[in-house]
Amino acid sequence: MAISAQDKMLYVANKLGLTSLKDMQGSTRVVYDQSTTAALDHTLFAGSSQRNFPLTNLGANGNQFQVDEALLVEQIGFFIPDADDGQNYTGLAGLSVKFDFVIGNKTVIKDAVVEFGGQQAFYNDGAVGSAILTLEGVGILIPPQVEFYVRANAFSVDSRLAASSRLGCYLFGTAALLNFNTTI
């Protein structure tokens, strides 16, 4: 019997003692963070509470969700910020990205590669997309109040050597949001 994304969220929430999650409203959600300084290695989402929009959309809680808030990650996307202000981006443009996805103290994806020219989404102008990895099946759950981050480095598609670059990351999936009927 196949397990749905919603069933996985409820199972993890119940194991954490968050029995009210079943009463919450579900929605789609995208969280993102970006490093506008060129570097070989990036740790995205960590320290995001110290960055403002449009560099990140996570806000004051940074890289952890509030109580009764969770994200079931179904796609991970990477892009290149085209300026220090973080307002626009371009695709990977001849670069690929190797990354680790860490939730709490557990590495849940290790040494995964998103290739330039592969699957794309999150178009900002109808022409330039982010390279993405779709997590088939039920995705990976980020539970409430647990820190998460992505360690990533870009490398040349042609030479396969590390490349200094700006880098940004999207996490897209199914979210559980506060149920206003029971919390206000």
DSSP annotation string for 65-132: BPTT-EEEEEEEEEEEESSTT-S-EE--TTEEEEEEEEETTEEEEEEEEE-TTSSEE--SSSS--EEE
The pLDDT assigned to 6 comes to 67
9: in domain: no
19: in domain: no
70: in domain: yes
The pLDDT assigned to 68 comes to 72
13: in domain: no
Range of the domain at 158: 29-174
The pLDDT assigned to 183 comes to 43
Distance of CA 30 to the CA centre of its chain: 7
Query: Rounded to an integer, what distance in angstroms lies between the CA atom of residue 105 and that of residue 9?
Result: 19
Structure-token pair, residue 146:
């647990």
pLDDT tens digits for 29-47?
889 999 999 999 999 999 8
Average pLDDT over residues 89-98: 87
Average pLDDT over residues 49-72: 85
The pLDDT assigned to 184 comes to 38
CATH number at residue 60: 2.60.120
53: in domain: yes
Work out how many domains the chain is built from and give that number: 1
20: in domain: no
pLDDT tens digits for 12-22?
667 766 666 56
15: in domain: no
